[in-house]
Structure 1
Amino acid sequence: MKILYLLFPLLLLLVQGAAAWDNTLKCKSTGGFCAFVKCPSGTRAAGKCTSTYCCKST
């Protein structure tokens, strides 16, 4: 019972990570890739991968 307060934040982190993984898979399934800073030349931003950009070739 004493560690119950530690398990709740862990559960929240797992749920947040699952949502981030879903965004990445959605980007890749549409033919895109995730870029950290900005999309490279020859590509355009097509959405978001958590805190990064989902880029597709033009």
Structure 2
Amino acid sequence: LPFKVEHRSRNLAKLHACILKGCEIPNTLSRDCQDLLTRLLEPSPTKRISMQEILRHPFLVS
């Protein structure tokens, strides 16, 4: 999992919090990459980016 913690349950709790509250996307990534990650991690399935939109996203097209 993406977080370095001693216990798996803490890792899952951090992941759950990240999903619900939104993750901090590093500003060292390109704006297109930040946008794609933000849209991929959208908690609401109805608001989340579609597969067609992903394939047309500037980050993948460039």
More strand by share: 1
TM-score past 0.5 threshold? no
Pairwise TM-score range, normalised by the shorter structure: under 0.3
Quick check: which has more Rg, 1 or 2? 1
Please, what TM-score do these two structures have when normalized by structure 1?
Answer: 0.28
Instruction: Using CA pairs under 8 Å that are at least 6 residues apart, name the structure with larger relative contact order, 1 or 2.
Output: 1
Please, what TM-score do these two structures have when normalized by structure 2?
Answer: 0.27
